[in-house]
Structure 1
Amino acid sequence: MRAALATKDITISELEGKLTLSILDRILFDSGKAIIKPEGEEVLRKIATVLDQFPGRQIHVTGHTDNVPIRTSQFPSNWELSAARALAAVRFLVEQAGTDPKRLAAVANGEFQPIADNATAEGRASNRRIAIVVLPEVFRLPQPPAEPPPAAPEPVEESPGPAAEPDAPDAP
């Protein structure tokens, strides 16, 4: 898998059971755009074959940007750009690569989770990326057995009231 995908534009890492494929934006998108380029489609098809190796696992596709404001009519901020890019990748994986949509979620982080220093051009380029994260299997805690319904209350026997005194006069 690493040999087929890992390049200077794609990194693969595993941490705490999460497999992360990080793809720099330049391979997927033109600057300031969210339309996947033909070479990006090829990369996403290869990634889909990797995702198929983890059936049933949830996958987050996360868009990231650098901190340079975009402010276009289509993308008022980096939030919108990162969201549109994540959604474009999700749609491609579902519609073109056949990935089960129930497994996918699009996430937008904008500029707020950089992996490099935005003060340099190289750092900004590293921050403009899509991360495809295969989440670890979720183990659910065993549920305690269902409690039986409460038993019907036992009938209460009525006890006679205080015994009336036989010689007591009737009250007026």
Structure 2
Amino acid sequence: MRKRNKRNQEHEEHSDESWLLPYSDLMTLLLAMFIVLFGMSSVNAEKFKAVSDAFTNALGGSIFEGGTGILDDGSFSTSGANKMPKNPEDFKASVGELKRREQENLEGLKKQLDTYIKQNGLTDDLDTKLNQSQLMITISDKALFASGEAEVRQDARKLAEAISAMLEEFPDYEVIVSGHTDNVPISNKEFPSNWDLSSARALNFMKILMQNTHLDPKKFSAIGYGEYHPVSPNDTSSGRAQNRRVEVSIIRKYIDPDQKPAVTSAHE
């Protein structure tokens, strides 16, 4: 009788752990779901497809092939935009269409700028270039500033205002204003170095752009490069003149993975 009671007591003290099995299954599925979501955050459709196929068995169906997976309703969207196509080819086509439209828009802006430059006789002082990462407007320092100064001349403010008006068509694009100098040292009370001069010129030009209340200040930044991004050798006066400049870069949104997204010089 005593042995039977002892056996029953041991059985009652042993906790029921049958809940661990469904709990572990749930954790596994949650982990799989978050890995799939992480994979979907990549713009690369092929990588997304590979992650999807890797978890097909765990989730009960392929995301792209219309199975019974947790994301089959297509509710995932990138950057708050339209729903991501389930077919990888459709996804590529959608991105291709966005890139095509962006190219057309940037080409249209370049055409507007080039027309403005020609009509105002600024072909010697301004240049535009559209490449795989940005549309860049290059402005000679003599079109904006007095020698060794950073305040935009009154007669040059019209140019900045015209550019800001054209930028209204691209409210969601990042715009970087960069200042550049030649390698002739400068050291005075106001500008101890070319870093200071180039930074002040970029900032002052950007401030005029920002007077346009239709532009979003969060999309704009100013950088001073000093003498360290020359576009021409500094051993001639004409070369130094080309290096003294302000560049306004409208950064593309849709850049191929093998393209460098950073700002580059119009001549690099």
Normalised TM-score (structure 2) = 0.50
1:1-172 equivalent positions in 2, closer than 5 A: 1=112, 2-5=114-117, 7-95=123-211, 97-98=212-213, 99-137=215-253
Worse overlay, 34-43 or 104-113: 34-43
Q: How many angstroms apart in 1 are the aligned matches of 2:150 and 2:216? A: 22
Give the paired residue count: 139
Larger radius of gyration between Structure 1 and Structure 2: 1
Q: What is the RMSD computed on CA atoms of the aligned residues?
A: 1.6
Q: Percent identity?
A: 36
Higher helix share: 2
* Alignment deviations for residues 38-59 of structure 1 (CA, whole Å, 9 cap, x no partner): 2220110111122122220000
Residue ranges of structure 2 left out of the alignment (5+ in a row): 1-111, 256-268
Q: How many angstroms apart in 2 are the aligned matches of 1:103 and 1:32? A: 29
Closer, same or farther: CA 61–33 of 1 in aligned 2, 3 Å: same
8 Å CA contact retained: 1:61, 1:107: yes
Q: Report the Cα offset of residue 73 of structure 1.
A: 1.1
Letter matched to residue 159 of structure 2: V
Task: Quote the residue 1:152 is aligned against.
Answer: none
Secondary structure of the residue that 1:110 maps to in structure 2?
coil
The structure with higher relative contact order (CA 8 Å, sep 6+) is: 1
Higher strand share: 1
Q: How many angstroms apart in 2 are the aligned matches of 1:50 and 1:19? A: 13
Secondary structure of the residue that 1:102 maps to in structure 2?
helix
8 Å CA contact retained: 2:171, 2:216: no
Letter matched to residue 223 of structure 2: V
Q: How many angstroms apart in 2 are the aligned matches of 1:76 and 1:93? A: 26
Q: How many angstroms apart in 2 are the aligned matches of 1:94 and 1:35? A: 15
Closer, same or farther: CA 100–5 of 1 in aligned 2, 3 Å: farther
8 Å CA contact retained: 1:5, 1:46: no
Residue ranges of structure 1 left out of the alignment (5+ in a row): 140-172
Normalised TM-score (structure 1) = 0.76
Secondary structure of the residue that 2:183 maps to in structure 1?
coil
Secondary structure of the residue that 2:210 maps to in structure 1?
helix
Detail structure 1 runs of 4+ shifted over 6 Å in the superposition.
Answer: none
8 Å CA contact retained: 1:29, 1:36: yes
